[in-house]
Amino acid sequence: MAVQRTFSMIKPDATRRNLTGKIIAKFEDAGLRVVASKRVQWQRADAEEFYGIHKERPFFNDLVDFMISGPIVMQVLEGEDAVAKNRQVMGATNPADADAGTIRAEFAESIEANSVHGSDSPENAALEISQCFKEEEIVG
């Protein structure tokens, strides 16, 4: 498998509890490199655009409210098989189903406040990276 890039976000429940460093350490320990990073406060329109694919889902409004409730850390992660590796390190969306040692098993509070987001495919990784970073902000 070739070197890939994926998009990662540390969510407001984790920044609020000062877990940014502990979460990044999990990525780095798995062999992923942070090649772009920024901490931002999203406005409602930012969250609605990013999560647009979920807009018909019953949890959409709560998800948007949560994602603008505090700062997030957006990152590009690079490494061998980065999309799948990031998903392994994060664990299942619902922390109740997440394997021991994963970010969500250790840190997530609920299916909504689940500490991290990661791209689910190389196609979505490219889309999410381009939504959140300019090419010159990514330094490999």
Give me the sheet containing 3-10, strands edge to edge: 33-40, 72-80, 3-10, 116-118
Integer CA distances (angstroms), 130 to 35, 123, 126, 138, in order: 14, 11, 6, 10
CB nearest ligand CMP: which residue? 117
Question: Of 65 and 140, which has the nearer Cβ to ligand CMP?
Answer: 65
Structure tokens at 57: 């889902």
Q: Which of 117, 125, 129, 132 is catalytic?
A: 117
C-alpha to C-alpha distance for 17 and 69, rounded to whole angstroms: 13
Helices (H), the chain: 12-16, 20-29, 44-50, 60-67, 82-90, 103-107, 122-132
Residues 17-56 that bind ligand CMP (CB under 6 A): 54
Residue in 35, 92, 111, 126 binding ligand CMP, rule: CB under 6 A:
111
Q: According to the binding rule CB under 6 A, does residue 5 interact with ligand CMP?
A: no
Q: According to the binding rule CB under 6 A, does residue 104 interact with ligand CMP?
A: no
Told to judge if 117 belongs to the known catalytic residues of this protein, a careful annotator would answer: yes
Residue in 59, 61, 99, 131 binding ligand CMP, rule: CB under 6 A:
59
Residues 63-82 that bind ligand CMP (CB under 6 A): 63
Return residues touching ligand CMP (CB under 6 A): 54, 59, 63, 93, 111-112, 114, 117
Report the catalytic residues: 117
